[in-house]
Amino acid sequence: MSWDWSVIVEYFPRLVDGIWVTLELVFLSGLLGLLLAVPLALMRASHNPWLRALPFGYIFFFRGTPLLVQIFLIYYGASQFEAVRESVLWPVLREPYWCAIIAFTLNTAAYSAELIRGAIHAIPKGELEAADAFGMSKAMKVRRIVLPRAFGIVLPAYGNELILMLKSSSLASTITLLDITGAARTIIARTYTPLEIFLAAGVLYLIITAVMIGCFRLLEMRLNRHQHYKMPAELTAVDPRLKD
Amino acid sequence: MDLLGFGDLLLSGTWVTVKLALTSLVFGLILGLLGATAKLSRFWPARALATLYTTLIRGIPELLLVLTIYFGGSMILMAIAEQFGYTDYIEISAFAAGVAALSIAFGAYSTEVFRGAIQAIPKGQWESAQALGMTPLKTFFRIILPQVWRLALPGLGNLFQVLLKDTALVSVVGLNDLMRQAYVATGSTNQPFTFYMAAALIYLGLTVLSTGMTAWLERRANPADRRAAA
């Protein structure tokens, strides 16, 4: 076995191009997924059993089946129906890029909805009762108390979900997209140096993961800053009870 | 289940998927236990190695791992065999590559589950075992491990679900699993939605089955909770 560093150097720009595709896939579908997840989670936490059933079925299906099947179902499956091929949606559903975005969005929305639902349940009951006592309407309570609190609680878990998404985004390479993994596979098809190129691709994924973990730490400190708040010294000097 | 005459094909693929998942589970559990033992060891190189293993594997896509082992594994094996004077071509089967990749991934995640479970056992139990004159090894196998099973079960159940779904990735390197057979059926019938939906529903059935199994095992492992619930 010969190890060839030069092949990494030569094809590195191609892998770097793949980074942008990977990041676009993760952040676009992460954002759309979050927008879809919030109403799903609110429905899931509702008291009406009919309203709860719909998101339950959706979450059950998308969490219980492999992402690869979901991608193929959308990319290959949609073309089975004449009605889809003749509809205005066809130019979108024909593109592997948009199919990947749709599949990732639907998938991550299901996982995130469960996380947000858990966070909504974790909000101390007293805070919701306090909102009621102030005479807040249901919508205002959701907007001002439930969602901001839920986001602070869900953040660490959501960071993990986004990292899992980053790893899942490599599946886009199975429908011809040139993300990091896709670029690596096309390079290897030409050079036949799988170990070198996959190593380089793996290192890129590790770096992105590390950066994402760092960003989430910062965001967490900002959103949950009430937990780290320290009373200014002048105030505690006046009244020591303010310390805690 | 007929599905235009492809039902049997899908069932045979399902069987391959199940075999792959269970084989990887066995090796993954062994790797996880080894990893957790290394992480809790007093010997720092073992700790460093285990930390490297879990950080690297958890940051790399499983698909990349499958591809690396399938395409790169035979190169490494041939290089090793060459040292012993064997110069023929060695090829790794898709199944073997799948088992290797999935158990390495499962091992990295289960290392953390096992570590948490071992640490959750009160220190006093180690001390009392020592007071009874047990060696650390004996304490581990007789006192700690039987309890780890109960504590680790919920976490391991979740990981097995992930593993079950990740088996679909091995179809990318040509293993005749459920996913691959759905693809084959699609090729000759031109009905992709039908077959991928059938595959999705079979996967759904498998995950429901594994959830049920985990719940049953959890109830069995926790006689105290069972009595409290009754």
pLDDT per residue over A31-49, tens digit each? 999 999 999 998 988 888 8
Q: What is the pTM of this model?
A: 0.88
A180-189 pLDDT tens trace:
999 999 999 9
Residue A62 carries which side chain, given as an amino acid letter?
F
Cα–Cα distances in angstroms (integers) from residue B219 to residues A199, A237, B149, in the given order: 43, 55, 12
Which of A11-15, A84-88, A133-137, A193-197 is predicted with the least confidence, judged by mean pLDDT? Answer: A84-88
pLDDT recorded at residue B4: 75
Inter-chain contact A73–B200, Cβ cutoff 8 Å? yes
The Cα B142–Cα B151 span in angstroms is: 15
Query: Chain A closest CA to B30's CA: distance in Å?
Result: 24
Band of residue A219 on the pLDDT scale cut at 50, 70, 90: confident
Inter-chain contact B165–A168, Cβ cutoff 8 Å? no
pLDDT recorded at residue A3: 81
Give the number of C-alpha atoms closer than 13 A to the C-alpha of residue A211, restricted to the C-beta side.
Answer: 8
Inter-chain contact B200–A201, Cβ cutoff 8 Å? no
More confident residue, A238 or B162: B162
Please determine, for residue B108, whether its predicted confidence score (pLDDT) is greater than 70. Answer: yes
How much is the ipTM here? 0.88
The Cα B175–Cα B186 span in angstroms is: 16
User: How is chain A split into domains, by residue range?
Assistant: 5-243
The residue of chain B with its CA nearest to that of A162 is: B59
Say if B184 is an interface residue toward chain A (CB within 8 Å): no
Under 8 Å between Cβ of B197 and A73: yes
pLDDT recorded at residue B230: 46
Inter-chain contact B61–A174, Cβ cutoff 8 Å? no
Burial of A137-176, coded b for 16+ CB within 10 Å and e otherwise, reads: eeeebbeebbbebbbbbbbebbbebbbbbbbbbbbbbbbe
Residues 41-100 of B with CB under 8 A from A: 56, 59-64, 67-68, 71-72, 75-76, 78-79, 82
Question: What is the 3 state secondary structure string of B151-200?
Answer: HHHHHHHHHHHHHHHHHHHHHHHCCCCHHHHHHHHHHHHCCHHHHHHHHH
User: What values do phi and psi take at A90, rounded to 5?
Assistant: -60, -45
Q: Which of A1, A65, A184 sits opposite B200 (nearest CB)?
A: A65
pLDDT recorded at residue A86: 84
Mean pLDDT of A128-154: 90
Inter-chain contact B165–A81, Cβ cutoff 8 Å? no
Inter-chain contact A64–B207, Cβ cutoff 8 Å? yes
The Cα A198–Cα B11 span in angstroms is: 33
Could you give the domains of chain B? 7-229 (1.10.3720.10)
Under 8 Å between Cβ of A22 and A183: no
**Considering only CB atoms, which chain B residues are within 8 Å of A194?**
67-68, 71-72, 75
Inter-chain contact B193–A68, Cβ cutoff 8 Å? no
Specify the CATH number for A5-243; select among 3.40.50.300, 1.10.3720.10, 2.10.109.10, 1.20.1050.10: 1.10.3720.10
**Considering only CB atoms, which chain A residues are within 8 Å of B63?**
170-171, 173-174, 181
Inter-chain contact B169–A68, Cβ cutoff 8 Å? yes
**Considering only CB atoms, which chain B residues are within 8 Å of A70?**
200
Please determine, for residue B49, whether its predicted confidence score (pLDDT) is greater than 70. Answer: yes
Q: Which of B76, B72, B78 is nearest to B90 (CA)?
A: B78
pLDDT recorded at residue B75: 85
